[in-house]
Amino acid sequence: MNKTHISLDVRNLDAAVAFYRDFLQSEPVKLRPGYANFDLDYPPLKLALNEATRSGVSHLGVQVDERDRVFAEIERLKAAGLETFTETDTDCCHAVQDKVWVADPDGHRWEVFVVKGDVAPVGGGPEACECSCGA
C-alpha cells in the first residue's frame, strides 16, 4: 500500500468535503471536527483536509504499509545527505503514526509514514487535532 498523500488546509471543511465527495466520487473514511480524510484505491491517494484560517497545501507524503518501510526510508534519505526529522508513535491527524519528514529546496514538506492505529475523537472544533504535522 503505497499511496500519495496530500494534506490541504481549507477554510470551510463542510464545503471542501462536499466538493471532494463529488470530485472523487467517494465518502471520507474519517470525519472529525476540523478534519476529513479520503482514502482511495484508484488513484492511490490519501487526501486529508484540515480546517484552518488559511487555505493551501499543508504537506505532501507517501503512505507505506509497514513500519520497517519507514525506517528503511530514514536510512536511505540520510545516506542521500538529506536532513530528516523522525517521529515515532506520534498522534497526528487522529491516527498513531511513525514517520520521517524531509523538505525540498523550496520548503515543501514531505513525509513517509505508516498508520499504526486510529485515535478516538476528543472535544470539538479544528483544535481537536493538536498535531504539528512535522512543523
- Asked whether the whole model's pTM tops 0.85, one would answer no
Place of cell 504537506: 59
Q: CA-to-CA distance for 36 and 13, rounded, in angstroms?
A: 8
> What's the mean per-residue pLDDT of the chain?
87
Tell me the per-residue pLDDT of 2-27, one tens digit each, with 9 for 90 and over.
Answer: 899 999 999 999 999 999 999 899 99
Section 45-72 average pLDDT:
93
Query: Is residue 135 one of the residues assigned to a domain?
Result: no
- pLDDT at position 132, please? 52
Query: Is residue 68 one of the residues assigned to a domain?
Result: yes
Query: Which residues does residue 37 pair with via DSSP β-bridges, in sequence order?
Result: 30, 48
User: Which residues span the domain enclosing 21?
Assistant: 3-128
Phi then psi dihedrals of residue 82, to 5 deg: -90, 140
CATH number of the domain bearing residue 77: 3.10.180.10
Q: CA-to-CA distance for 127 and 124, rounded, in angstroms?
A: 7
Query: Is residue 133 one of the residues assigned to a domain?
Result: no
Query: Is residue 134 one of the residues assigned to a domain?
Result: no
- pLDDT at position 128, please? 44
Domain total of the chain: 1
